Amino acid sequence: MARKKGGRTFKTSSDMLKAWEAYKEQCDNATVVQTTFSQKDGKYITEKIPHPITYTLKGFALSAGMTENNFYETYRNKEEFGLVIACMKEECETDARSKFENGTIDSRLAGLWLSRYGYTTNVEQKVDADMTLNVSIDYGDE
C-alpha cells in the first residue's frame, strides 16, 4: 500500500486508532501452516494453527504502507497523534509481556525481546570493598 510522498496516511487520530485495531486483530489471528505425519492414517496432514505475533510499531507502519522512520517523522510531533502513539507503544509492551508470561512466545527470548522496553535480566550485585574479615581458629585445649 504505497502512499504519496509528503501525504499523510491518517488524517485524524481516529483513523490511526481504527488502523491500529485492525493491525492488532491481524497479529492476534496470525496462523502458521504445520505439517505432521499421522501414524494412524499413514499420511501427512497439513493444517493451519493459531500463532499470534507481537504488536510492533514497525509492523504497524509497514501495514500502513510506510517505514517506521517515516511514520515517526510524519506523526510524532503532531499533538493530535502524540497520545495515540504513546498508547500504542504501551500496548506493544504489555502485549509482548503477556505473550511471554502465558507461553505464546518462547520464554528464552524474553530477555532479548523485552530489553527494548527497558527490562533487563541483569542482577545487580553490590560488593563492599571495605569489608573486614575476622577469623578465629580454635585449636582445642592447649
For every one of its 142 residues, what pLDDT tens digit does the chain have, with 9 covering 90 and above? 444 444 578 999 999 999 999 999 999 999 999 999 888 889 999 999 998 999 999 999 999 999 999 999 999 889 899 999 999 999 999 998 898 888 887 777 777 777 777 777 665 666 555 656 566 666 666 5
Q: What is the pTM of this model?
A: 0.71
Cβ burial 87-116 (10 Å sphere, 16+ → b, else e) = ebeeebbebbbebbeeeebeeeebeebbee
Number of separate helices (H) and strands (E) present in the chain = 5, 2
The Cα angle at residue 86 between residues 83 and 89, in degrees rounded to 5: 150
DSSP state, 80?
H
Picking from 50, 61, 51, 49, the residue whose alpha carbon sits closest to that of residue 23 is: 61
